[in-house]
């Protein structure tokens, strides 16, 4: 039976988009995938400064991202957001410490499990969670299935890293 990792905590915490790991993306330093992703919504690079480096904590990024004025948001963001996430993940996992964590998952299926009813970027397991963990209640569309775009992106980056390492070794 294949291994499935559906919690990016503990030894897999570095896989989480909110994990503190400084890296550069699009010429700026960010401390997490979450902050880089939210900043990437903004057209004008100078307006992204509140997300740079240590200006925004990862767990604040989504809330802050929801407050971005509509006039600042890239008109093509919906069409390019998955590619942007992939580029951000490539940047993050170019750093050796976090790359080791990703590669140590071997061939495990990576699922961005959550209880926030996010079945696009992950898969919500709110129905399996104890009451104390159901901060957002029970979602009627949370059936243990979803697009899991964060997990799929991580698996793609992992495969790219393997191919790259194989090519370097040859």
Tens of pLDDT, residue by residue over 88-119, are 999 999 999 999 999 999 999 999 999 989 99
User: Does pLDDT of 146 surpass 70?
Assistant: yes
In which band, very low, low, confident or very high, does the pLDDT at 1 lie, cut at 50, 70 and 90? Answer: low
The pLDDT value recorded for residue 30 is 92
pLDDT at residue 90, rounded to an integer: 98
Q: Find out whether 13 and 32 touch, Cβ atoms under 8 Å.
A: no
Average pLDDT, stretch 13-28?
94
Distance CA 61, CA 20 (A): 12
Per-residue pLDDT, 170: 64
In terms of Cα–Cα distance, which of 101, 85, 119 is closest to 158? 101
- Give the pLDDT band of residue 131 (cuts 50, 70, 90): confident
Q: Is the pLDDT of residue 43 over 70?
A: yes
What rounded mean pLDDT belongs to the chain?
A: 92
Question: Topology of domain 4-112+148-169, per CATH?
Answer: Tetracycline Repressor; domain 2 (1.10.357)
Lowest-confidence pick of 13-17, 18-22, 138-142, 159-163: 138-142
**Domain limits, the chain:** 4-112+148-169
**pLDDT score, position 114:** 92
Strands 109-110 and 4-5, sheet pairing: parallel
To the nearest whole percent, how much of the chain has pLDDT over 90? Answer: 69
Residues contacting 37, CB < 8 A, separation 6+: 17, 61, 65, 81, 84, 85, 88
Q: Which residue has the higher pLDDT, 35 or 1?
A: 35
């Amino acid at each position: 039976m294949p291994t499935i990792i559906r919690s990016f905590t503990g030894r897999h915490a570095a896989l989480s988009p909110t994990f503190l790991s400084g890296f550069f993306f699009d010429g700026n330093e960010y401390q997490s995938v979450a902050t880089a992703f939210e900043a990437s919504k903004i057209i004008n690079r100078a307006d992204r400064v509140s997300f740079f480096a240590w200006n925004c904590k990862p767990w604040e990024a989504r809330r802050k991202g929801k407050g971005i004025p509509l006039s600042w948001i890239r008109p093509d963001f919906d069409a390019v957001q998955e590619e942007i996430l992939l580029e951000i993940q490539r940047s993050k996992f170019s750093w050796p410490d976090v790359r080791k964590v990703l590669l140590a998952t071997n061939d495990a299926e990576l699922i961005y499990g959550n209880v926030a009813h996010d079945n696009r970027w992950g898969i919500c397991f709110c129905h399996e969670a104890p009451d104390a963990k159901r901060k957002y209640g029970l979602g009627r569309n949370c059936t243990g299935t979803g697009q899991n775009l964060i997990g799929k992106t991580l698996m793609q980056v992992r495969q790219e890293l393997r191919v790259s390492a194989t090519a370097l070794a040859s």
